[in-house]
Amino acid sequence: MRTTERQDIEGPLPAGLGQAIRATAEDIATLLRGASYTAVPVPGSEWTVGEAAAHLALANELMADLASGRERPYGDGTPQSLAAANADSLAAFGERRAEPLATMIAEQAEVFLDAMARTTDEGRTPITPLGPMGRDVLASYLLTHMLGHGYDLARALGRPHMVDRPRAGLCMPFMLSVMPRVTNTAATAGLTARYTIRLRGGEAFGVSLADGVVQVTPGPAADRSDCTILLDPTAFLLIALGRLNPWRAIARGQVLAWGSKPWLAPRFPTLFTAP
């Protein structure tokens, strides 16, 4: 595909998002093409590199179909149903070789971007595995999903990962949209608290909890916060996706907290289940 065509594809999305999707897909493809053996286990996962890559290839295809207006039911949004859908899709798709999966991941990211260039939010809202989403949030979802599993693949293969501050920032539309949907009801039961989350060099948002209901708002919490948490954007994303232990991030100086109830900070990651 020519460079001019690629620039046209990126136009309708927020600045940098299309480029980040393409670059992440290509980074993952490069990782896989450098792997001579895909049966390597992924740290902290039941999957091998081949299985994680197959899941990514299938997920990129799913997202491309959703962006194109096709209906693709995939679980009901609960962790259990998504895990079952993942297992079923992997069982029906036998490819585990690096080169074909690398090609599929990159190609389906391009199909997604092409579909984004041809559709608008005025059309049907795609129903994703985590509920209905506008096109910009859907694109942010795709990027977030690739970064999470791309991070896993990089760790498994002993290579540098591709999660950085600009890409983490582009994941925020999806993260803010999905937080109320992935609330850990056992952890939020009986908790009343107001958090302000600030990302270094980026945005701030408020998270209020009362009677098990979570509200996420742009900017600081409307009322005075009980706890303000300042995080490095990359650390925030990796913690939110269950890839980084919060205490390790605190030890590295990537997380600071203050307010009338700073002890609420370590509790914050437990309030949500990684999407």
Domain boundary, last residue among 167, 196, 230: 167
Task: Give how many domains the chain has, as a whole number.
Answer: 2
Residue 46 lies inside a defined structural domain of this protein: yes
Question: Do residues 13 and 130 share a domain?
Answer: yes
Task: Assign residue 155 the CATH number of its domain.
Answer: 1.20.120.450
- What confidence score (pLDDT) does residue 78 get? 85
Residues 12, 147, single domain; the answer is yes
- 16 and 149 fall within a common domain: yes
Q: What is the pLDDT of residue 121?
A: 60
Structural domain boundaries enclosing 32: 3-167
Are 36 and 159 contained in the same domain?
yes
Residue 82 resides in a domain: yes
Helix (H, G, I), strand (E, B) or coil at 40: coil
At 222 the pLDDT is 64
H or E stretch at 157: helix 135-157
Residue 274 has a pLDDT of 85
Rg from Cα positions in the chain = 19
As a whole number of angstroms, the distance between CA 12 and CA 15 comes to: 9
Query: Which of 120, 135, 167 corresponds to the end of one domain?
Result: 167
Which strand (E) or helix (H) includes residue 158?
none
Among all chains, which residue has been given the structure tokens 């098990």?
Answer: 212
d(CA 55, CA 89): 8
Residues 130 and 244 grouped into a single domain: no
Per-residue pLDDT of the chain (275 residues; tens, 9 = 90+): 333 344 444 557 899 999 999 999 999 999 999 998 999 999 999 999 999 999 999 999 999 999 999 999 898 888 889 999 999 999 999 999 999 999 999 999 999 999 999 876 666 788 999 999 999 999 999 999 999 999 999 999 999 999 999 999 999 999 999 999 999 999 999 899 999 999 998 889 999 999 888 999 988 766 789 999 999 999 999 999 999 999 999 889 899 999 999 999 999 999 998 87
Q: What is the pLDDT of residue 224?
A: 84
User: What pLDDT sits at residue 77?
Assistant: 82
**Do 101 and 156 belong together in one domain?**
yes
pLDDT of residue 7: 41
pLDDT, position 3: 36
Residues 110 and 137 in one domain: yes
How far is Cα 152 from Cα 42, in angstroms, rounded to an integer?
Answer: 6
pLDDT at 212: 81
Q: Pick from 106, 135, 167: which residue ends a domain?
A: 167
